[in-house]
Each structure stands twice: as C-alpha cells, then as structure tokens.
Amino acid sequence: MTDLVVRRLLIDLEKPFARHWCGGDAFRTAFFNALSMSFPIGEQFFIDSVRNGYKALPAAEQPKYKAEVQGFVGQEATHRRIHSLFNAHLEQQGLVNAWGPRAQRRLKLMEGVHPLHWLAITAANEHFTAIFAEWMLKNSDLLDDAEPRLKTMWLWHSAEESEHKSTAFDLYQALGGNHEWRIRWFRRITFIFLGDTLRQTINNLRRDGTLWRWGTWKSGIGYLFGRRGLLRDSCGPWRDYLRRDFHPSQQESDLSRRWLADNASAYTAVGA
C-alpha cells in the first residue's frame, strides 16, 4: 500500500499562455494539449472505477484499501480540476476538444457493466499514463523551454501518476480479475488510446494552421521515434504488462519521489 498525498498545486492558471507554450514547438504543444483534453472525462472514469471497485470488495477487505482509494480519488480529482482550467485556455485559443465527447459516448456503453471491466480499463490506461509519466520525469529537460508553470503542472501530474499507478491494478486483482481480461482490455485500450491521441493531435495542429509544416513533422518524428523518443522508449514497459506476473510496482524508480522533494515549494499537501 502506498501513502498517497493529495497536493494543491501553487500555479496561477488564470493568466493565459502562449499558443505554442511548449518551447515554441507546434507538434509538442499540440500533443500535450491533446492529452490534456482527454483528462477531465478520463480521470472521472478512473475515479468512478476505483470507487465502484472498492465498494464491490467484501467488507472485511475494504479497510486495507481505504486510505489508498481516498488518496487516488483526491489526486485524480485535483488533476481534473487543473486540466479543466488549462483546457479552458485551449478553447479560447480556438482548439476544439473532440476526444472528450467521443470518450463520453464510448463510456456510456459501460453503464451496468461489472466493476471488474471498469477496473481493467482503468488499470490499462493507468499503465499508459505511468509509462508516459516516467518518461517525462526522466526527460524533464525536454520541458526546459516550456512555459515554467506548465512545465510544473505536467511534472507534478507525472509524479502523482507514478505514485498511484498500482491502485486500480491492485483492486482488479483483489476482486479476482483474471489475466485474460486484463490483457484483452489492455490491447483494446492500446488501439483506442493511440488512435485518439493521434486524431486529437492532428485536429489541434489543423486548427493551429501548422499541420502541413515540415517543422511540425520533423519535431513529431524526433519526439516520438528519435534517440530519446517517447514511443521508442515505451515499447519495453508496454510489453511488460502482458506478462502473467506483471505488477506496476516492478517499474518503480525514485524519479517521482525526487521531483516531489526537489519541488516542494510548488505545492501544499491538502489536509496536512
């Protein structure tokens, strides 16, 4: 069990930010913006999955998970709030979030489905998030040219994703979730997540008027497939999830703890 601290981030998101806030780079900005657009709907689904999974546990099992579930819900609720503020600026900039409404329509199909399936979907998404979070913390210098408060926002979110990456997975196991369904949902989520990220990034670039610029594609290829490329680096950790004996804690590092310790002035602990 992890002690999950809920933190209030001390950044001002009232002030607008530049259109290409990520180092003047159209691709990277559009990519991060796309991910952020999925968070308010996605993270609400994760919260509901974990809450419902917890309630489905036998009463005697619940105390063991209580604090972690509360911490998870608190962290994801804070992420939703901050990213909603961020997304409101994107809307002002003329970007259109097609991912959120599409995800909402898809999630409607999950109504009445057993909590184990919700948890398998959440655990799969949380694995993606954890891989990306770890990569961001490892390559935090790639955000050095970004607007400082937004760099802080992305790294804080990454640090917390890394902290709570086992919660949905553990509940899935505790409820007796099997390997086959865990993998089946993981494969589906891989297609859905990558497809949605690509579609929304392209949508953002088109509205930004930078889709057909050579520099955009050059940056995208380098960022995803280059020497330290995100997709290139993520294949191994992605594949690990398929192992029968996989557990998220096997991909532990101290990057999250270190960032939180080095940036303690960027947040306050809620309820501390």
Letters for 48-77 (x = contact with Fe ion by CB under 5 A, - = none) are ----------------------------x-
Q: At what angle do helices 99-108 and 179-208 cross, to 10 degrees?
A: 150
- Is-contact 204 33, C-beta < 8 A? yes
Beta-strand relationship, 7-9 and 267-269: antiparallel
Helix (H, G, I), strand (E, B) or coil at 244: coil
Tell me the window of 47-55, 116-124, 158-166, 194-202 that interacts with Fe ion (CB under 5 A): 158-166
Q: Using the rule CB under 5 A, is 79 a contact of Fe ion? A: yes
Q: Using the rule CB under 5 A, is 127 a contact of Fe ion? A: no
Minimum CB distance to Fe ion smaller for 79 or for 127: 79
Q: Using the rule CB under 5 A, is 89 a contact of Fe ion? A: no
Instruction: State the minimum distance, in angstroms, from the CB of residue 49 to Fe ion.
Output: 11
Instruction: State the minimum distance, in angstroms, from the CB of residue 79 to Fe ion.
Output: 4
The conformational region for residue 94 under phi > 0 = left, psi -120 to 50 = alpha, else beta, is left
Using alpha carbons, select from 85, 18, 11, 80 the residue that is nearest to residue 47: 80
Count of residues engaged in binding Fe ion, rule: CB under 5 A: 3
Minimum CB distance to Fe ion smaller for 76 or for 196: 76
Minimum CB distance to Fe ion smaller for 25 or for 170: 170
Kindly list the distances between the CA atom of residue 159 and the CA atoms of 31, 94, 196, 211, 259, in Å, as whole numbers in the listed order: 19, 30, 24, 31, 7
Helix (H, G, I), strand (E, B) or coil at 76: helix
- Tally of CA atoms within 13 A in the half-sphere of 187 that contains its CB: 7
Instruction: State the minimum distance, in angstroms, from the CB of residue 75 to Fe ion.
Output: 7
Instruction: State the minimum distance, in angstroms, from the CB of residue 31 to Fe ion.
Output: 17
Instruction: State the minimum distance, in angstroms, from the CB of residue 147 to Fe ion.
Output: 20
Residues that bind Fe ion (CB under 5 A): 76, 79, 161
